[in-house]
Structure 1
Amino acid sequence: MALNSFLYRLGQALGDNAVSSSAVKRTFAKQLGSQLAGRIESYVQDGGASSVLSDCSHRDNQNKWRQRHYVWRREGEGIFSDLSRWNIDQMARFGEVLAALEPITHEYGRYGSKKSPDWLRHIVQWWLSAQDRPQPVETLVDLCDLRGLGAEGPLEILFSRDPTNYRSDNCLDRFTGVESWLRENAPAIANDAVQAGADARAQLATAIGRFRIHDLYLAFLLDLAMGTAKGARAAAIQSLTGAKPETLEAAFEATYAEANPTRRAHLIEAAANTLGDRAGPLIERLRESESSAKVKAAMDRVAGAVTSSAAKPRNPWQKDGASGFVAIDGEWVPAPERTPPPERSKIDREAYDLLRAPIEAYNTHLKEMKQRYKDVPYHWSKHQVFAPVDDAIAKLRAIAEGQKPVSQNYNYYSFVWLHGQHAKSGEVDQFFDHPSVTLRHVVRLARGISGNRLLAQFADYASAPGLALQRRLAKGADMRSLVELWREAGGEDFVEEYLGYRWYYQDHGLPGEAWPMLLDEMNRLDEAMGIIPQTSNTKFDTLRTLRLLTLFPKVPERYRNRLMILANESGVKIREQARDLLADAEGIEDAIALQLDDGKQDVRAQAADWLAQRGAATHIPAIRARLKKERSDKARAQMISALERLGDDTSDFFDEKAMVQEAEKGLKKAMPKGLDWFPFDGLPALNWSDGRPVNPILPRYWVVLATRLKETGGNALIDLWLDRLAPGDAHKLGWMILTGWIAQDTRTPSDEEANQHALSRVDQQLAWNKDTLKRWPQSADWISTDYNTVFAQIKRGFASNYLGSAADSKGMLALASRVEGSDAGPRIRAFLKNHGSRTSQAKALLDVLANIGTPAALQVLLQTADRLKQKSVQAHAAKLIEDVAERRGWSAGELADRTVPTGGLDEDGTLQLECGADRIYTARLDEEDKLALFNPLGKEVKALPPARMDEEKSAVADAKKVLSKARKEVKQVVTAQTERFREAMCMERTWSSEDWINYVASHPIVGRLAARLVWIGTDKDGNPLASFRPLGDGSCTDQVDEDIDPADFSQIKLAHSTLLDADTRSAWATHIVDYDVKPLFDQLGRLLPEISEATRKQRLINDREGWMIETFKLRGIATKLGYQRGPAEDGGWFMTYHRVLREAKLVAEVEFTGSTLPEQNMPAALISLSFRNLREDGKFGTQVAFENVPDVLLAETWRDYHDMADKGSGFDPDWQKKAGL
């Protein structure tokens, strides 16, 4: 126990502590007044005037208190700076006052959890905010004991997130003596911990593992490992990995005998994760007497994690570590020979001389800025200091050569000239690449100048030394030496940095050659994988860990068992990544096959899918054996699908006799709700594909089963049945069901019923209308007193009422998945247009379109999605489109093709707008690709008409909204698709001829744009067959006016000057002029720079560096070329224009000297062109070598860079000065 804690507690016992009365009173007087503050002071001091708590809880006083100005992290600074002046009971009463004044209503910035009393959370916050050093945990324990909270009170504080440290999952670093408290009070803590929240229990389990006190808490950890809280269970299991295996094994066996099946199943999981080689034999012993299917299934699930592949013979000293590792295939993978870090050395004077010009340029620029903005308050230049050249170089030499220790803050402000534009000069790069500048020099400068985090050196914002490190690694520098030097310079642990920092990208940015450094970090990886106890305050990210493992040339065997568990029981991303890492693992198919008998249908289905993915044909018998007793439709369908993928004949699973028996059993069950209307006797006669008739009981059962399953998007098992029907019969069955269901759902009164209803109501309505007009004559424009008009209104309103709903039976639509899209599309489109307000039914029919999946059906899905008014239905349609794309393995570009908004236009490019009875206006695209509006007589008009009567107001308003939205969408589509086509040209993206016809040429907007471009048709191997252009009327022509049928091609792509010979380019140039075509962009005429092998090795093109251009001119040409303004940097400047190329996962970036925000027209100079990786989260990554960029894209972008320069005044030797650098 620390001395200050002892003296503090001694003072508590002697009772000589007395909080300053004036300090307490001052705390509350300003907001609450001196009288109430005095009563609070009295209560806090000795417990007197306890009624003050009631007064504090009054709303007026609470409001006054909340209006105070405070900094929550330092709120207790003035009153709790000297804790020795406080008694425990005084602290508790102070907390009670705060709780009365400010009940806690949110969790942000609070210690503890919702289970903690408010008074404790408040006092801990005030107390800790006043202290910079960790505080004695005994004080916290005494506070809780005073109010009878037991150990649960301290646990909730200690093991809840630290609100002042976003990198920590608990508050252990805020207190001293926690380990001793846990050791000395283990029985009481373990007993009270069961009342704590699940998060606190999980953190406690982690701390037990961290402090290696497993033996004291073994029963507690075992109980937690068998509990229902998933997070706490996982934490307990990881903690148990640090226990002695023999002790743990005995505890497992003893606990197992007394546990129920659910807890035994969890115990099996814990054993598989913690016992290593002991797990397999133990589980086999327990299996001998196990009778629970649930527990046996758990044993099967972990089977692959408790058996290791046989490692191939190797020398006894070949153990995982710096020298290499055992791979998952049993091979020993040696580490490359280690290059030791360079010794300390001097940097040549000529290298330092390279920095003189950049330093002088910085000083000149700073002088100009100070003069120019001398009257501007808070301008950045006022806080910057000049860097005398010799002094700046001397400071740099002292850090680089080790004459001074690295001090990040000092170095940052000492080397401001190495940040920003001046650091991007050629001289700076030449300095860092100079032969006398070693890796040691660069690492020290990177550590001091550009931050404390190693992975930041591989980020897009890396500074000059960081970029130099990237270049060194690309040339073969040893990452292990780099890390060693980094740590020597005081840098943070890069593994903990990447795996534990919440703000880090999922992409670590490390090159593949970096894997040897991970051999020195096996303990960290072990912790991150959960095979040893957690030692840090932050849990490592599992998915990031798996992504680090992808750097290894082969997966280490040590992670095989853990990967088997992650591949079975984790989320989708982790599961798929784990399975990818296990791709080369041998002998795991048997373990996977055991999961075919798991108690969970999802596990069984996933096991079948995984076996098929691995091509495990030898396990066809196991899948067949399970199918004999499989009752789950989902698992059954997945298993049959797996058999087909493995090349097995599945025809025997469609034995009609067995199917009839199953149907008879199913039909004896209660009929699902909503089938009263269905005409079972009207089901069509069907035949199997071999011509045999289908027993009529089967389609009857299929309708009942599908309705019961309620899977409108289709059921895999039913789909397999439909696929075995004779050609056309599945369509016939589905069509009967689809049309019947729509008819049932949209039933409305007959004309006779509507007439009778109107006749019974018209007199009453007329009387009401006349009475209303007497009182409000101004309503005459929309309230009619004409008998026929009122009659028609009543009849129309009643005729639109639905007589029922078929929503309860929508599951039967799964049987419509084989309906011809050309038939289903118009019928469903009509429903969506006329009955789209029925959201449940509309979603079900969209499911049908997605399940049919033919081009005609998908066109309706795409074309109608944007027309629907219901947001929920729109969202559902968008989700379906994504699902279809994923299911079919479409690329991002193909998905975009199928989701291009139509602006509500029909296939012929028109949009009908209903403005009331007999008033249908039409909008269609004009020559400028804008929507022109025409009245019912075909005359072009500028706007929609006003409503003639009240009933028309809603229709006209809706029509105006539709037209407005359509015009916006058309404009957006033209802009977006122009850019997409240009990107597709650069990427040489290809469409299948079917997709091109359906999604490009047939699109009402995109098709018009496609007619302004030249295309190339190729065979299946990509060999060009012809070039052509759509004419806009459904036909296509080549450059010499010969007809072309795009269906004759296998693939279609956009033409480019590099893909056509000179004669063809010339012929197309003539064609474009003759036909008065306005190309979307120049495909064939741009003069493109030549790309050499040397260029492909570079990351930067700067052949237009120093070319001057006004910022407004640059903005104009950049925008025209499809570039966007880059992000604002410090000082409100932006310094780049970029173009995102999502399909290529690249970003083209043109750098210039910058422009202010808000923009002003000012001189600027171009600097360079580069490409960056586009990260998964949409952010820009590091620069890439041009060899990773398609040649057409590089050439076109390089030409963009030149075109921007050509709009300016040319090169200027004084560009830096004139551009304000």
Structure 2
Amino acid sequence: MPKDQRSRAAAETIAVSEQMLAGLTDVLGEDKTPELPPLHRFPETSAEPARRRIREIITGLADGTDPYDASFRPVPPSDHLPPAYLRQEKACAQFDEDLLDALIRVADGSDETPALDPGWYTIVVDILSRGCHELSFIHLARIVRVILRGDLVNLPHALDRLVSYRVRHEEVNSEPRVLDDALHRSGFDEETVNSFIASLAMHSWPWDPADLWPWLIERPEVLETWLIGEGIDSWLMVPERALHVLTYCPHVPNRLLPLLAEKATGDSLVQRRLARQILATTPAALYLACAQLGLRTSDRRLVAVDWLSSMGDQRAVPVLREALDEERNHFVRAAEIKLLQASGEDIGAFLSPRVLTDEAREGLRGSWPKHLDWLDPAALPAARWADGTVVEPKVLAWWVTLADTMKDPDGSGLMALYLDRLDPDDAAELGRHVIDRWIEHDTRRRSTEKNRELAEISGLLTYKDWQRRAESLTPADTGCYAEEIREQAARPQQSFIDEYFRNYERSYLGSAITNKGLLALTVAMPGDELARTVQTYMSEHRQRRTQFVALLSALAANGRPGSVDLLMAIARHHSMPTVQKAAGELAGRFAEHHGWTADELADRIIPTAGLADDGLLHLDYGPRQFHGSLTAKGRLRLSGPDLKPIRSLPGPEAGDDPELVAAAKEQLSASRRELTSVMSRQPARLHEAMCLGRVWPAEAWRQSLAAHPLMRLLLARLVMAGEPRDAPAEGLPAHCRRQPRGRRRRTAHPGSRVPHRAGPRHRPRRRGRRGMASSPGGARRGTAVRPAERAGDAGRRTAGHPHGRSVRPRQ
């Protein structure tokens, strides 16, 4: 969003919030200043003990003695200081006992203003502040005020140096109220003190937010300036700092609520989170969020719906319904409908076949978009509603044009709501048709004959051009450019033709990235099928980075195990860093939405290859039943109705259901693909978990891994160490006794100690180099050696053998 547009949206948000709060005086109550913690004032002391030390330093300077020692070194002066401030000779010549008496009186708070030479600036700020500890910060600040005599330009610099120098000896900056009090007692006015402390907090940030809020809460105008951030460098992140401070404040002033509402619906994710956290402690949060639904900016309305979703307050339902009747933006409308659905409300009235059909007729009044002429609307697959009635072709055509208009491959919003109203198979078929046509349009190439023809023309022209350049050279031309001309002219004509032909063969006629919104219609496809389509595209067209990112968004929106598994795999590794980063961000958002970490997400979406909880793949022919089971090597073994092994599924016989036979064969092919994927990816994840020392809660380990029909085979090749919740993992003979079911699990590290009672069969066999053994995936990696529970048997201790066998420990 452009800057001026953001400013207008922010101003509108603040105005709407102020209007809303004007009628909430009964809800907000009286605006009370929160109780502040006690202020520990800086003590007032006499400057008389510093008399001797000041005399020594000034006398030494006059005699040419270096005042610096090992305790402090000279600091280079600031470039903007006037030259008079840097000359110490006149100041030293001015020094006598009368002036020393005057300095002591000024340091003790006298109102007199002796005529001090500007050279005293560096003496006081740089030397006395560090070499005369008998002078306190207040003493020094009083002297500096007299020296500068209204020089407001260099005053902040002097005070900043005093604060930084005295921090080792005094608690003058323990919190800003202490510094504020010290500066007021030094004779500085309110405006100067507030300006200096605000600038100090803004730029160097010497205080913890928990210590800064008592000073800021008494100056809401400073907080307002920080929250608005206008005229302040963005790299300072001042609005974020102000929000961090307010999170520690027991009560937020009512005058700040409109600004907080603007931050809660702004562009910055960090500011949104902090502002919502602060507003959650006030009774106005729900009213402010509901007020944003009437803003003119659709982005703000969409964020307001997300804010209401995070609250989960049923009181927002009537406001949502009213806003939905007026809403015309498809993104916002979808978010509002999904929020109503999450609130337990009936959304059928907004998504009934009649409503969607009328909407399609209204939307398709014009002609088919020219930029979609490659996607024939008449070729879209027929579809049925979930109740079995036929869907008008215009409905699907309207959804296609709508998805293209929205330009967002993430179909988890409006498209997911629409497709959910269709028969699941028909919704999947629509997504399948659209992505196939999209890939065809994106990967169009010329024919080989056409590429050969173009290559011959281009190669001949290039060959003649180099020959012409070579003929224009003279023997005196010896530069690198001349050498390149001679080298290219010596090439045969066919080499240019072959080079052009290779380039033309790799080139595309166009791109479908401008129509990436169509990928939103794949949200209802089977996850493994969509993942297979995307993976094939990425392997055959390796340079289509922008298309890869769009397809990743479609995978994340699909949300089914096969799609998310591929997304996680790409997030872990991809040759293009930008693609890997995009996959990681999408996977993180998916996990955050479900309240999982990335590793927990990866555990939860491991495909099962169609195997049921009993570990069998059930293939139904109707009267005949076939089964698939896993071998010890992780392959699929088929057995017939008589339980005898077979190599492949037979053809249909009399009495078999042809549709069931076709479905069984398709399921077998899909299961084999998923099985290959899991057995190639998951051992690497387990090895990574061992290296990083990952620990699973026992229940999560049992549900996601031990009970998984494929993962329990891999776990049988590992050693899983059980850790009691209330006992240290090391130093106790935990392997000698049973542990409670509630303990945690982890893959044991190769450095783990083998129990003294373990016999030779408990120890990993050596392979190759010393200390290395076969890993779960068969590679030469360090292997777990600690006893643990057998997968699926949480109450019994076993040691997993690194070569795939489980050995019961001796009793």
Q: What's the TM-score, normalizing by structure 2?
A: 0.56
User: What residue identity is the alignment partner of 1:1067?
Assistant: V
User: What residue identity is the alignment partner of 1:889?
Assistant: E
The structure-2 alpha-carbon separation of the partners of 1:736 and 1:527, relative to structure 1 and needing over 3 Å to count, comes to closer
Q: Residue 747 of structure 1: which of 444, 449, 457 is its match?
A: 444
Q: Residue 168 of structure 2: which of 464, 487, 494 is its match?
A: 464
5 Å matches for 1:1035-1046?
1043-1044=717-718
| 1:628 is the counterpart of 2:325 | yes
| 1:613 is the counterpart of 2:329 | no
The separation in 1 between residues aligned to 2:126 and 2:260, in whole angstroms, is 46
- Partner residue of 1:1019? 698
The structure-2 alpha-carbon separation of the partners of 1:509 and 1:644, relative to structure 1 and needing over 3 Å to count, comes to farther
- Partner residue of 1:142? none
Q: Residue 516 of structure 2: which of 791, 810, 827 is its match?
A: 810
| 1:496 is the counterpart of 2:195 | yes
The separation in 2 between residues aligned to 1:457 and 1:1019, in whole angstroms, is 57
**Which segment drifts farther, 855-864 or 621-630?**
855-864
The separation in 2 between residues aligned to 1:1066 and 1:404, in whole angstroms, is 71
Q: Residue 857 of structure 1: which of 555, 562, 566 is its match?
A: 566
The structure-2 alpha-carbon separation of the partners of 1:690 and 1:642, relative to structure 1 and needing over 3 Å to count, comes to same
5 Å matches for 1:1116-1135?
none
User: What residue identity is the alignment partner of 1:663?
Assistant: A
The structure-2 alpha-carbon separation of the partners of 1:302 and 1:836, relative to structure 1 and needing over 3 Å to count, comes to farther
User: What residue identity is the alignment partner of 1:465?
Assistant: H
- Is residue 1022–residue 1051 contact of structure 1 (8 Å, CA) maintained in 2? no
| 1:701 is the counterpart of 2:398 | yes
The 3-state SS of whatever aligns with 1:649 is coil
The separation in 2 between residues aligned to 1:1014 and 1:526, in whole angstroms, is 47
| 1:1066 is the counterpart of 2:767 | no
Please state how far the C-alpha of 1:827 moved relative to its aligned partner: 3.7
5 Å matches for 1:167-316?
300=16, 302-310=18-26
5 Å matches for 1:348-497?
366=70, 409-410=122-123, 413-414=126-127, 463-465=167-169, 480-481=177-178, 483-489=180-186, 495-497=194-196
- Partner residue of 2:210? 512
- Partner residue of 2:375? 678
The structure-2 alpha-carbon separation of the partners of 1:723 and 1:766, relative to structure 1 and needing over 3 Å to count, comes to same
| 1:878 is the counterpart of 2:596 | no
Please state how far the C-alpha of 1:1016 moved relative to its aligned partner: 4.0
The separation in 1 between residues aligned to 2:532 and 2:104, in whole angstroms, is 75
The 3-state SS of whatever aligns with 1:707 is helix
- Partner residue of 2:250? 553
5 Å matches for 1:510-909?
510=208, 512=210, 515-518=213-216, 520-522=218-220, 524-525=222-223, 542-564=239-261, 567=264, 574=271, 576-587=273-284, 589-590=286-287, 592-688=289-385, 694-714=391-411, 716-727=413-424, 729-750=426-447, 757=453, 783=492, 799-837=505-543, 841-852=547-558, 854-859=563-568, 861-862=570-571, 866-867=575-576, 875=578, 878-879=581-582, 881-882=584-585, 884-886=587-589, 888-889=591-592
Please state how far the C-alpha of 1:1067 moved relative to its aligned partner: 1.6
User: What residue identity is the alignment partner of 2:437?
Assistant: G
- Partner residue of 2:651? none
| 1:326 is the counterpart of 2:32 | yes
Larger RCO: Structure 1 or Structure 2 (Cα < 8 Å, ≥ 6 residues apart)? 2
The separation in 2 between residues aligned to 1:631 and 1:312, in whole angstroms, is 33
Please state how far the C-alpha of 1:643 moved relative to its aligned partner: 1.7
- Is residue 761–residue 794 contact of structure 1 (8 Å, CA) maintained in 2? no
- Is residue 570–residue 580 contact of structure 2 (8 Å, CA) maintained in 1? yes
Please state how far the C-alpha of 1:654 moved relative to its aligned partner: 1.6
Structure 2: gaps of 5 or more residues: 54-65, 75-87, 89-99, 114-119, 145-155, 472-484, 603-675, 737-747, 757-761, 774-779, 786-811
The structure-2 alpha-carbon separation of the partners of 1:1002 and 1:463, relative to structure 1 and needing over 3 Å to count, comes to farther
- Is residue 403–residue 520 contact of structure 2 (8 Å, CA) maintained in 1? yes
What value does the CA root-mean-square deviation take over the aligned residues? 6.6
The separation in 1 between residues aligned to 2:462 and 2:43, in whole angstroms, is 100
User: What residue identity is the alignment partner of 2:567?
Assistant: L
The separation in 1 between residues aligned to 2:545 and 2:290, in whole angstroms, is 42
Please state how far the C-alpha of 1:660 moved relative to its aligned partner: 0.9
Q: Percent identity?
A: 21
Please state how far the C-alpha of 1:661 moved relative to its aligned partner: 1.1
User: What residue identity is the alignment partner of 2:22?
Assistant: V
The structure-2 alpha-carbon separation of the partners of 1:523 and 1:655, relative to structure 1 and needing over 3 Å to count, comes to closer
- 1:480-525 Cα offsets, whole Å, 9 max, x none, are 45541354246896653454469715x6632525544445545644
Please state how far the C-alpha of 1:642 moved relative to its aligned partner: 2.5
Please state how far the C-alpha of 1:655 moved relative to its aligned partner: 0.4
Please state how far the C-alpha of 1:893 moved relative to its aligned partner: 12
User: What residue identity is the alignment partner of 2:697?
Assistant: T
- Is residue 713–residue 851 contact of structure 1 (8 Å, CA) maintained in 2? yes
The structure-2 alpha-carbon separation of the partners of 1:1023 and 1:832, relative to structure 1 and needing over 3 Å to count, comes to closer
- Is residue 516–residue 550 contact of structure 2 (8 Å, CA) maintained in 1? yes
- Is residue 246–residue 252 contact of structure 2 (8 Å, CA) maintained in 1? yes
User: What residue identity is the alignment partner of 2:207?
Assistant: G
The separation in 2 between residues aligned to 1:528 and 1:809, in whole angstroms, is 42
The 3-state SS of whatever aligns with 2:248 is coil
- Partner residue of 1:253? none
The structure-2 alpha-carbon separation of the partners of 1:892 and 1:685, relative to structure 1 and needing over 3 Å to count, comes to closer
The structure-2 alpha-carbon separation of the partners of 1:627 and 1:770, relative to structure 1 and needing over 3 Å to count, comes to closer
The separation in 2 between residues aligned to 1:446 and 1:891, in whole angstroms, is 56
The 3-state SS of whatever aligns with 1:628 is helix
The separation in 1 between residues aligned to 2:703 and 2:109, in whole angstroms, is 65
5 Å matches for 1:956-971?
none
- Is residue 460–residue 497 contact of structure 2 (8 Å, CA) maintained in 1? no
User: What residue identity is the alignment partner of 1:706?
Assistant: A
- 1:722-750 Cα offsets, whole Å, 9 max, x none, are 34445455443222211221122223345
The separation in 2 between residues aligned to 1:1081 and 1:613, in whole angstroms, is 45
Please state how far the C-alpha of 1:770 moved relative to its aligned partner: 14
The separation in 2 between residues aligned to 1:820 and 1:600, in whole angstroms, is 36
Please state how far the C-alpha of 1:576 moved relative to its aligned partner: 5.0
The structure-2 alpha-carbon separation of the partners of 1:1062 and 1:719, relative to structure 1 and needing over 3 Å to count, comes to same
Q: What's the TM-score, normalizing by structure 1?
A: 0.39
User: What residue identity is the alignment partner of 1:604?
Assistant: R
The separation in 2 between residues aligned to 1:1082 and 1:1018, in whole angstroms, is 24
- Is residue 846–residue 861 contact of structure 1 (8 Å, CA) maintained in 2? no
The separation in 2 between residues aligned to 1:666 and 1:634, in whole angstroms, is 16
- 1:451-474 Cα offsets, whole Å, 9 max, x none, are 979999999x984236x568xx6x
The separation in 1 between residues aligned to 2:419 and 2:689, in whole angstroms, is 38
- 1:648-680 Cα offsets, whole Å, 9 max, x none, are 332332201110111122222232232222243
Please state how far the C-alpha of 1:403 moved relative to its aligned partner: 5.8
The separation in 1 between residues aligned to 2:552 and 2:703, in whole angstroms, is 38
The structure-2 alpha-carbon separation of the partners of 1:884 and 1:643, relative to structure 1 and needing over 3 Å to count, comes to same
Structure 1: gaps of 5 or more residues: 1-198, 200-227, 235-265, 274-297, 315-324, 328-332, 353-361, 371-382, 384-394, 420-431, 868-873, 900-996, 1028-1032, 1086-1221
User: What residue identity is the alignment partner of 2:717?
Assistant: D
- Is residue 556–residue 564 contact of structure 2 (8 Å, CA) maintained in 1? no
- Is residue 404–residue 517 contact of structure 2 (8 Å, CA) maintained in 1? yes
